[in-house]
Amino acid sequence: MGFLLGAYGKLAAGSRYRSLQARMMRIQSKLRRATRDVANMEKMLDRNMKAELQALTTSSNATKAGFQQVMQATMYSTGVGAAQAALAEYYKKGCPENFEYGEGNSKITIKDSAAAQALMQSISQQQANFNTQVSSMTSWMDQNVATCKQQIEEKYEMLRDQMLEPLKDEEDSLQLEKDTLESQIQVAKADYEACQKMEQQDAKMLAPNYTGGQ
């Protein structure tokens, strides 16, 4: 009786073991694919976010440089450049009285050292005004970039919730199913080995003894 129970039990346990192994192979394949999908999605989102942030920084830097160029051109169009050149030439020639630089409407006259000093102060004031305007605009741009950066990061955080979390949930579900199957496989394997042992032991008991009673 034990022999038959062991034999049938071994067949049932072996069948269940092979069935669980087949399921495990399918689950492992799905889990590998899910893990790969999660990694690819993370890489894509990180890559796209970095590209947007880099484009924002590049655009901001270009805007700043363009604004500074415009402001500098505007400042020099008011005569600052000519005044600087006139002062340089004035001091180069030893600070002569009634010094004239340029021609026509753009002519600059420096009567004496006091006039030169006044002209220098005027240039310094215009440069200070220029630096203040550039600094103010740069600060505003930096604040705007910080706001845009935050918006980009929040957008990709939302995309992660919408696109990445479902993939991670699937990965976690498959991992849980894999762990459960591993436990079931261990049980099925133990049942198979126990039934096999029972079959082998009863087979020895049923084997004829050709040496006894002779």
Interacting residues of 12 by C-beta distance below 8 A, sequence separation 6+ = 195
**Alpha-carbon gap, residue 84 to 146, rounded angstroms:** 38
**Alpha-carbon gap, residue 53 to 51, rounded angstroms:** 6
The pLDDT tens digits for 68-107 are 888 888 777 777 788 888 888 878 888 888 888 877 777 8
- Residue 199 burial (CB < 10 Å; 0-12/13-18/19+)? buried
Contacts 24+ apart (CB under 8 A), 141-144: 141/60, 141/63, 141/64, 141/67, 142/60, 144/60
- The CATH class given to the 2-206 domain equals mainly alpha
pTM across the whole model: 0.61
Q: Are 134 and 68 in contact (CB under 8 A)?
A: yes
The pLDDT tens digits for 15-57 are 888 888 898 899 999 999 999 999 999 999 999 999 999 999 9
**Alpha-carbon gap, residue 189 to 169, rounded angstroms:** 30
DSSP state of 211: S
- The mean pLDDT value of the chain amounts to 83
Q: Are 20 and 179 in contact (CB under 8 A)?
A: no
**Alpha-carbon gap, residue 181 to 175, rounded angstroms:** 10
* Residue ranges covered by each domain of the chain: 2-206
Q: Are 3 and 203 in contact (CB under 8 A)?
A: yes
Interacting residues of 15 by C-beta distance below 8 A, sequence separation 6+ = none
